[in-house]
Amino acid sequence: TNGEPSILLEPQSTNLVTYSNDYTQSDWVKSNFTANSETTTAPDGLPIGGYDFGDGFLYIDLPAMVVGASYTSSVYIKANKNGTIGLRNGGAGGSTNDTSIDLSTSWQRFTATSNAPNTNAGRFLIDNRSSKGFGVSDLKVFVYGAQNEQLSYATSLIHTSGSTVTRSADVANNAGNSDLINSTEGVIY
């Protein structure tokens, strides 16, 4: 805030979504979510393909949750038009927390955070079902960087390709002021 250089240190975190960018994998369960011929550039510069998203959903099951722990789902989405769909951060067995997200024609990162009420398997779900109060018609989307972490906030992208991936905590040695930079949580100096 005073114009001095700063650094963001992030804690150790694991992306529990096993395929963060490849939604063609069988781990992803799809209903009216099909690849199309459109392409664009992802937020970090990689080329990616688009999807037609009808009255349906895209989800992947996650490991069992720790009761009372905070979990945060996050994903980048770019759409062909504005509209509201759902992002679920919660269990597969009825303990859910659906967050309404407002789409845009520009890339946006959406997040949903909740505490796990039980030890059910988690579920990362993007929902466009009219039966759930969504159902944007003629929707085309680009989806990138699906992530679920056992944290109360989303950290920077952790890419996965078939298994969960853990990023080590960032460390700043010889920073000169241990009151401003510590090891307990991400801290901006």
> What is d(CA 161, CA 173) in angstroms, rounded to the nearest whole number?
32
Q: Which of 121, 122, 139 is nearest to 130 (CA)?
A: 139
pLDDT digits (tens, 9 = 90+) for 126-163: 999 999 899 999 999 999 999 999 999 999 999 999 99
> What is d(CA 162, CA 117) in angstroms, rounded to the nearest whole number?
27
**pLDDT tens digits in sequence order for the chain, 189 residues long:** 577 777 778 999 999 999 999 999 999 999 999 999 999 999 999 999 999 999 999 999 999 889 889 999 999 999 999 999 999 877 655 555 678 999 999 999 999 988 888 888 888 999 999 998 999 999 999 999 999 999 999 999 999 999 999 999 988 776 666 555 555 555 554
Q: Is 53 exposed, middle or buried (0-12, 13-18, 19+ CB in 10 A)?
A: buried
> What is d(CA 106, CA 138) in angstroms, rounded to the nearest whole number?
17
User: Which pTM was predicted?
Assistant: 0.86
> What is d(CA 62, CA 31) in angstroms, rounded to the nearest whole number?
18
